[in-house]
């Protein structure tokens, strides 16, 4: 099973776009998205230095545009992609890439949102000098306790041996003087304490804009940074992405979901390397492919053919699916089992996982067409549970 992942801020390096822009089709598509974002991304991806592209207002649209246009190079016929992709996930701002790739939002909507996200996060970062430091190695409990002692947030939990601390520069300096045993500290090239309460003003701004964004249910499983759950309601995908600006990224839980799905191959969109590096350490035996340059495209397509299989999630204009957010045991709600029509937001049951019980609702509501599981069945992330015919549909 194939998972496509999109990296977050910090993955960019000076000049990484040069070989991609040699292709006229890539260049024209990229220039279109740069125009939508109203940022000269061509110059920033080819000529700008590391300090310039570190700027949140530049780095974030640069990453999203690159991932989206590279996806069209990898899958020239987008509809064919969903016969191969089992799930998508993006790290931090990469969630916008993943959402657009899964067709929950359009590429143009993603570019407007990432422009406003980057501008708002840069403004929030300017209020108080903040930053982020990767804590590599050490005992997990001791690492988290040390961060808490210094008032820092574990803004990214990326899996075994990699937690990213975020907070004020004073707090990070105190951490440098009091590092957890057997841990190595690596300051990150980012402009602020992302995924912490320092970013709350940015959430408020992007939330107001997101109310006007039309969404669609994604064409494949979307694994959420918030908790690793599979999300199949387009509105919820967008709501989570916006809220994540000020909430920690739980990439460790995303990796757990990939393992639950039975992933055999992970392909990272350019500028690639960060997430495949994490996957190699966390998911032993899973093949990875870091797509960095266009001369790798044929090999990347072969990788997708080798590991690809269609997602069990489907979309149709005449019915909708309710799917399981996690791996566990499904329990049907008595009221849902006893009715033929469910209102929007009605609970249909819950999934008992190893950690907790996750409620499942019918986001859109409608006429019950078919239950696809029974009470007490074991389910996997993204597995269809119930088929609904939308009320008022022809």
89: β partners: 5
**Beta bridge partner(s), residue 184:** 136
Cα end-to-end distance, the chain, whole Å: 35
Phi, psi for 66 (deg, rounded to 5): -60, -45
Q: Which residues lie below 8 Å from residue 147, measured CB to CB, with a gap of 6+? A: 135, 153, 154, 163, 165, 175
* Enzyme catalytic residues: 92, 195
């Amino acid at each position: 099973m194939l998972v496509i992942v999109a990296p977050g801020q910090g993955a960019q390096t000076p000049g990484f776009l040069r070989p991609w822009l040699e292709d006229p089709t890539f260049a024209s598509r990229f220039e279109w998205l740069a125009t939508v974002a109203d940022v000269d991304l061509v110059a920033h991806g080819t000529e700008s230095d590391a300090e310039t592209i570190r700027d949140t207002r530049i780095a974030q649209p640069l990453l999203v545009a690159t991932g989206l246009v590279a996806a069209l190079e990898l899958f020239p016929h987008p509809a064919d992609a969903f016969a191969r992709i089992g799930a998508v996930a993006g790290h931090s701002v990469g969630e916008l890439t993943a959402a657009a790739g899964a067709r929950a939002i359009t590429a143009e909507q993603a570019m407007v949102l990432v422009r406003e996200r980057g501008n708002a996060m840069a403004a929030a970062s300017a209020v108080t000098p903040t930053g982020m430091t990767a804590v590599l190695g050490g005992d997990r409990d001791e690492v988290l306790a040390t961060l808490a002692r210094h008032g820092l947030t574990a803004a990214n939990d990326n899996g075994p041996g990699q937690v990213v601390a975020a907070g004020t520069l004073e707090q990070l300096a105190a951490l440098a003087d009091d590092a957890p045993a057997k841990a190595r500290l690596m300051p990150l090239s980012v402009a602020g304490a992302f995924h912490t309460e320092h970013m709350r003003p940015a959430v408020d701004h992007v939330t107001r804009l997101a109310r006007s964004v039309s969404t669609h249910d994604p064409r494949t499983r979307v694994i959420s940074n918030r908790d690793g759950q599979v999300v199949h309601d387009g509105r919820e995908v967008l709501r989570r992405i916006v809220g994540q600006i000020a909430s920690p990224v739980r990439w460790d839980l995303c990796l757990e979901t990939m393992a639950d799905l039975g992933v055999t191959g992970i392909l990272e969109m350019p500028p690639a390397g960060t997430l495949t590096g994490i996957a190699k350490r966390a998911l032993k035996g899973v093949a990875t492919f870091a797509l960095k340059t266009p001369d790798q495209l044929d090999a990347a397509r072969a990788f997708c053919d080798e590991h690809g299989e269609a997602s069990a999630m489907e979309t149709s204009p005449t019915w909708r699916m309710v799917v399981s957010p996690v791996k566990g045991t499904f329990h049907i709600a008595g009221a849902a089992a006893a009715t033929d029509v469910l209102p929007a937001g009605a609970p249909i049951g819950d999934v008992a996982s190893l950690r907790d019980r996750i409620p499942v609702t019918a986001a859109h509501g409608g006429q019950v067409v078919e239950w696809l599981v029974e009470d007490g069945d074991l389910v996997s992330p993204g597995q269809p549970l119930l088929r609904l015919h939308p009320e008022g549909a022809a």
